[in-house]
Amino acid sequence: MLNNSEHTVMTKKEVLNEQYEIYSDESGSGVDRFESIGTLSCKKSVVAELKTELVQVLAGHQLSHCEYKKVAGGCRYNCALEFLTILHRYITQGDVKVMVLVWDKHDKRHQVPGRDDIANMSIMYYWALKTTKRQWMDTSLDSNFFPDELSKVDFKSIIKYLECTRVRSRDSMLSLFGVEFTKSFPSVNSHNELNSSKEPLIQLIDILTGIVRLTYEEKTTFDAWRHGHEKTEAMQDSLFVVEEDAVTISKNKSYKYRLVHELDALLKRDTMQVALKSEDGFLSKKPSNGYFLWKYEPQRDDDKAPTKNDSRRV
């Protein structure tokens, strides 16, 4: 028999040695102003439990899968909202973290002739995974990586480059040559590209990634819709009729706007440090936050998107 102190030590060791898994997907296309990458990183010990809950939700709605682009009616809206509610519970418990990186193809960084969007996507994946790793840096956990198989980027090169990145840590030392970074990112033990229609965790991050990108792509229209939606909610118990400013959007788009509205309410309810009303889209400023939703800004004056004749590659 183990006494309580011995049991506590073993539990801590198990936590320190635990791995986690990263699932990722993208949102946006060449015609969209904004594109985004989302990652869902999850403690390996809860992956099966989380998947089981999502599969049960799908079964309850008689769906084989649920993705952002297909949220265009009540059934998939309800399924997507249940997905996000489950995700929120796991995040508040500390078992899952999500990261969504958005970039604006109309900013100065991207206004270059002959832009190579695939190479640029690779660079953005590097930043996305680097940020995801930092979300868990205190535990130095290794990971397995499962992106959507439809991506056009070379993940092996990105992973190799990422694992060569060294970061400042408590062990870093100041020398004649500056700060010597002695700590590398945790390794990616394996990676496997998956079919999103068969992987509910990729469907989950796809939904979140899509609605975060939407808040940047259509912020003005969404704000106008929400103003009318909130007025309608406030009038439901009123005896007086108040005229509303009409906002013309399709019924299908309104389901996506409702998802944004409900997610914003969840984040506010539990004080998750994510802003929407005061920003150009969902934005959080603390990388260690369970929700880290951010927009890429150029790192320096010469930070430009790669071109097709450019030798830069991740």
pLDDT on residue 172 = 45
Q: Cβ neighbours of residue 201 under 8 Å, at least 6 residues apart?
A: 23, 40, 42, 47, 50, 51, 54, 146
CA distance 67 to 79: 10
Q: Lowest-pLDDT range, 150-159, 217-226, 235-244, 272-281?
A: 235-244
Q: Lowest-pLDDT range, 47-61, 166-180, 259-273?
A: 166-180
pLDDT higher than 70, residue 237: no
Q: 10 Å Cβ neighbour count for 170?
A: 6
pLDDT higher than 90, residue 74: yes
CA distance 55 to 58: 5
User: The CATH number of 19-152+193-295 is which of 2.60.40, 1.10.10, 3.30.420, 3.30.70?
Assistant: 3.30.420
Q: Cβ neighbours of residue 34 under 8 Å, at least 6 residues apart?
A: 28, 102, 103, 104, 105, 213, 216, 217
Give the global pTM: 0.86
Two tokens, residue 30: 């060449």
Condensed to tens digits (0 to 9), the pLDDT of residues 98-116 reads 999 999 999 999 999 999 9
Condensed to tens digits (0 to 9), the pLDDT of residues 186-231 reads 678 778 999 999 999 999 999 999 999 999 999 999 999 999 888 8
Contact 22, 201 (CB under 8 A): no
Question: Which secondary structure element, helix H or strand E, spans residue 291, and what is its range?
Answer: strand 291-295
Condensed to tens digits (0 to 9), the pLDDT of residues 26-51 reads 999 889 999 999 999 999 999 999 99
